[in-house]
Structure 1
């Protein structure tokens, strides 16, 4: 779970997160690998027994790259990078007491994120096999320790949550600690913080128990993120006979809010096509930065980076248009690098 901390200026906010923390093991592969493991470009799945050899195969490749990963950890790292002010972000997740865990701690500290990891001494740190083919990626994740996060850790760090002005979680975390999502989202009703959630993957909305948590959380959700594939998967799962992304975003924006929260903003990215934002049933489209194909290196993390840039601008009190512009910029930078990585400083002022 990521958190953006408050700043002295009353109109400025900063994000915080609780979510699963994994180490990305990233490498280019061929169609044979996709066929062997039943992988789909642009998809994200939890690893089964048949996928276990994939991690060893990737680690043996000469071009393998290790990056601090996990969807939410990516987003909060990018948000911190875009803000360029120390101490504005915090992150909670669970890691193992091993070398991969140490790499994650070092990476987060280097990026300026206040990482508050729960340490599981009996389980390895989670890992994600990032298989890249023709500049498209498929994610296969061994959650390991990341799957063992406990709400008790969040409760022990409630001061961090209570001080947050923006709280963000990827939908993936629904599979790990629904109790933590409920605690965090309900706390925002008390503190007035902004709560953000991401659909994250088709299986999150397709599996009934996971979708039930999502729908229970929606009334607390100020910003709901997703992409067009996830939006359509949700519509199919709940019986909306449509693939019209604008219509789906509109309906999601009209789900009643809890307490005195304002209308939800539904933000659906569509790759190179304009980003759809639905508020109170009204849709606005915002263009993204178009890049020539030769500049694309790796689309892994593009959606996470968009959210990171968006949250950074939101933390600065910017409007939806400025948030989408910042998200588009950060995504355009990340896809020109391998993994969710970026240069030392952004060439962008929020």
Structure 2
């Protein structure tokens, strides 16, 4: 969970006297406690000023992140790498196995999910006002999610509390920084399409989405309302498995013309055009750019390629060549790229900022950037003559 520290990049509420800072933290904690007492499925009161960027994550998710060795991965159901859904009993079995193999100090529990990572990164690392739309359960995991996002400066007034369980995911990271993910969302509460309203979107500028066919109805409803309120829409392609298994639905969504910005990694790009004569990253970028104003294909350690109108750029990766943990790299790249667009930077500069923020998260375990690694990112921005966020106010 994000903790306040006196740093050059300090969050809202810092830079005050010690007593005032303690009072600020206490009020934030009390706010989180009041949330747990609200009626089922009720949204909290909106703040007077709408966040600049909204993230739709229908189901709140808690990441259980742990460093593991190959021997433990051999005992986990399914292949190494990728993301395979599991049932609650399977999740509990995996957590039990992990707890017997590693120390409690090595185990990290935090608000997770691609969209949550992106909006939290925008808030903490770039000082952009953000908010989350979704639902969380009336359990301990739900409270962890709300507190973590709220303490990170993300508006939680658009989250609905519901009776039931909050989603969880086990993220196992091997010595090479590769992750094996086992999400359990089958019993998790989530927001439904008919629970969204235009007031959720009024006044904001961007809506951040992650492709998931099981959430397609609520995604389409959110896009419709967002467009009515004048928002631009960003879409992440989620995983190569999701693209492979539900490519038809994805291409229909892209071809609707409602997606302004699309992010795909190299594997997702390959699946998007699988079976076609040209199926490389460049061909995927060309396909995406025909339907989206901005298209980006990330290439891991090789950087990224991006296109806007007729302009095409290629930018090298920034940071470690070997990741401590690749979890959240694409999500934080999106944070930086969106920040660049909001600031009116060029396409190449947007990619460079994204590479800096994506490089910051792979230096430590989990999808949440540590204070030290935010400082590292800001230093990289300064070295490359890119705008360094002023997030003191």
TM-score between both structures, scaled by the size of structure 2: 0.75
Contact preservation (8 Å) 1:250, 1:281: no
What is the rounded CA distance, in whole Å, between the counterparts of 1:76 and 1:308 in structure 2?
A: 7
Q: Aligned partners of 1:14, 1:59: CA distance in 2, in Å?
A: 40
The change in CA–CA distance for 1:290 and 1:336 in structure 2 (over 3 A counts) is closer
Counterpart of 1:18? 56
**Of 293, 300, 318, which aligns to 1:271?**
300
2:119 to 76, 87, 93: 76
Q: Which of 307, 319, 334 does residue 346 from structure 2 map onto?
A: 319
- 211, 217, 224: which is aligned to 1:186? 224
Kept in 2: contact 1:14–1:315 (CA 8 A): no
Residue ranges of structure 1 left out of the alignment (5+ in a row): 256-262
* 2:180 equivalent in structure 1: 138
Residue pairs, 1:145-294, within 5 angstroms: 146=188, 148-155=190-197, 158-172=198-212, 174-176=213-215, 178-208=216-246, 211-213=248-250, 215-218=252-255, 219-236=257-274, 239-255=275-291, 264-280=293-309, 283-293=312-322
Aligned partner (choices 135, 149, 159) of residue 94 of structure 1: 135
Structure of higher CA gyration radius: 2
Q: What is the CA deviation profile of residues 209-247 of structure 1, one whole-angstrom value per residue up to 9, with x for unaligned ones?
A: x741552354100101010001111111xx323441111
Q: Distance in 1 between matches of 2:250 and 2:179?
A: 27
CA contact (8 A) 1:303 1:331 kept: yes
Counterparts in 2 of 1:91 and 1:230: CA distance versus 1, 3 Å: same
Gapped regions of structure 2 (runs ≥ 5):
1-46, 382-387
- Counterpart Cα distance in 2 of 1:34 and 1:235: 31
Distance in 2 between residues matched to 1:78 and 1:148, nearest whole Å: 23
Q: Is the 8 A contact 1:223 1:265 kept in 2?
A: yes
2:34 — aligned with what? none
* Structure (1/2) with the larger strand percentage: 1
| CA drift at 1:281 | 6.4
Give distance in 1, aligned partners of 2:341 and 2:200.
Answer: 19
- Change over 3 Å in CA distance of 1:334–1:6 after alignment to 2: farther
Report the equivalent of 1:38.
Answer: 78
CA contact (8 A) 1:124 1:144 kept: no
Aligned in 2, Cα 1:143/1:22: closer, same or farther, shift over 3 Å?
same
How many pairs align? 322
Q: Is the 8 A contact 1:171 1:199 kept in 2?
A: yes
Measure how far apart 1:280 and its partner are.
4.3
Render the CA deviation track for 1:93-116: whole Å, top value 9, x for unaligned.
Answer: 221101111111110111000022
